[in-house]
């Protein structure tokens, strides 16, 4: 099980309150590393619009995926 693949991290949305148009609760998303955002307790996520936006880290929980699943996820949904 992995939580990162080629520098890409995976999270699941556990709270989309106020962001219903951009985030789907219980969906897995790809994160983009952003050290500045981390300092402010935010993470950069590829959202429903296909763009990397900042959201509160409280909206997400880290997930671990099987390597083959992570590769498929990146290839099909997070490219």
R_g of the chain computed on alpha carbons? 12
pLDDT value of position 78: 52
pLDDT of 49-68, one tens digit each?
888 899 999 999 998 878 88
The set of residues, in sequence order, having a beta carbon less than 8 Å from that of 32 and lying 6+ positions away, is: 8, 44, 45, 46, 52
Give me the residue spans of the domains in the chain. 4-77
Q: In whole angstroms, give the CA distance from residue 39 to residue 65.
A: 26
pTM, 2 dp: 0.77
Whether domain 4-77 has CATH 3.80.10: no
């Amino acid at each position: 099980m992995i939580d990162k693949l080629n520098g890409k991290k995976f999270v699941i949305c556990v709270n989309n309150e106020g962001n219903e148009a951009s985030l789907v609760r219980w969906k897995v998303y790809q994160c983009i590393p952003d050290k500045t955002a981390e300092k402010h307790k935010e993470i950069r996520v590829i959202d429903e619009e296909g763009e990397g936006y900042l959201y509160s880290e409280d909206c997400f929980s880290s997930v671990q995926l099987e390597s083959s699943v992570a590769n498929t996820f990146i290839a099909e949904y997070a490219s």
